[in-house]
Structure formats: C-alpha cells, structure tokens
Amino acid sequence: MKKKYKGEEYFVPYKKHAPYFTKERTDDTGQTYQILSVTQALSKQGSAESLINWAVRETIKLIDWDKRTVGDYTEIRDWYANVGTTAHRHMEILLEGGTPQLDKEGYDPMLVQAAQNSIKAFERWLTRHKVKKLFTEKVLVSDEHELGGTADLIAEVDGVIEVIDFKTGSEFGKHSLQVAAYAYLARENGIDVEQCRIVFGHRDTGKLKEVIVYNDELENLWKRVRASKFLYTYL
C-alpha cells in the first residue's frame, strides 16, 4: 500500500476534522473552548465485540508468518479511511454541481477499486431519490450540550429534510446514534431536520443499503448519545 498521496482533486489522505469549539460559551478567561466531537463521545458506546473482531481480522492480514512479526496496524486503518474520504469527496463535488474526476495514476489499484465501488453505490442512491441539497460537510456545534460534529449532507430527500451520512463499510449500531446526534445539533442551529438516513455503499461489494432513522426514534437515541458523552467525560 502506498503511504504517499498526490492530493489531486479529491483523492487525498485521510485527515480528521478540525477541533470543535463553542460559539458563545466562554471559559474564565473569556475564550471559547474546545468541546467533544460526537464521534469521540460515542467511542465508548457499544459495538465493542464487532470492532474487536474486525481488528483481529485485519491484524491477521498484516502478520508475516515466516518472520513472526506484525505489520503497522495504522497503515491499514488509514487505507480504509482514505477510501471513505475519497468517496465522500466525490459526493461533495457532485452535490455541489461539479464534475468529479478520479485520478487513478500512481495510487494503489485496490484503493481505487474500493473507492469506485462505494462511489457507484452512492451515485445509484442519487438516482433513486429527489435530492435537494441544503448543506454539505456542515459543521454543527451545540453550546448547550458541548458537542460538535460534521454532517456529510443535510438535504431535502423526497420532500423530507434529513441528515444523511455516507458510509463505505459495514453497519454498526453507533451509526444511528451518530446521525441522531447530528439531527439534534442541526435543530439547535435552526435547521428543521425531520429524520435521518444512513447510506451504505460497501467498498468491497458495491452493495447499496439505506437505513432511515425516523423522527420518533431520535429522542431515545439522543438520550444514549448524551449518556455516552457522560461516560467519556467522567469515566
């Protein structure tokens, strides 16, 4: 796998979002201060067994059985992250009205193929619905709950305002918690989100799957997010 990326168009190395800061709330010095991301707050929430099993499977791929050594786990983690970043960037350009061009030259062919699998699935999703984009990569911050996050897409889908999250891997329970948190953050920021949708375009198979989180589910999910934040902060 290549560690060097040219950064051409949207084929760029994975980077975490910048830290989130309060907008109005200040500390004793009068400065706004850094707050937890939704992803951080959910890091202690469920799915532990699934994540451990995934880590074991991926570590096996890195083992040199002759030398009895294990390769750098972060390399494969970043490889998957780059697939996701590439597919997300493609969708962002497409939804902004641009014509994304995938630069294949000089990149790991397996990474390119994985990104293409997800991209084609996401493009099929767009053809199945009437999507009116409101925001892409929308940064959302709650001063009240001291949480921040970035929604992939907030859009009117078939006449309903939704938070949409694009995923290139398998389904985990915490994905519903993540979009529910974004819905509440969006509402606090004056965006009348009615429900959420997670769109899976699997990087290995190209399979498309949608999961809708309806309005009547959001309150209980939001309570779990807040409980997770408490666990992260105090345990």
pLDDT in tens, 168-222: 988 777 899 999 999 999 999 999 999 999 999 999 999 999 999 999 999 999 9
Element (H, E) at 177: helix 174-188
The answer to whether residues 78 and 109 touch, using CB atoms and an 8 Å cutoff, is no
**Predicted pLDDT at 54:** 52
- Residue 165 in tokens: 């999250």
Tell me what the pLDDT averaged over the chain comes to: 81
Task: Please tell me the distance from the alpha carbon of residue 146 to that of residue 44, in angstroms, as a whole number.
Answer: 17
**Predicted pLDDT at 48:** 47
List the domains of the chain with CATH numbers.
45-234 (3.90.320)
- If one compares 14 and 148, the residue with the highest pLDDT of the two is 148
pTM over 0.85: no
Q: How many residues does the chain have?
A: 235
Condensed to tens digits (0 to 9), the pLDDT of residues 108-130 reads 788 888 889 999 999 999 999 99
Question: 104 CB contacts (<8 Å, ≥6 apart)?
Answer: 112
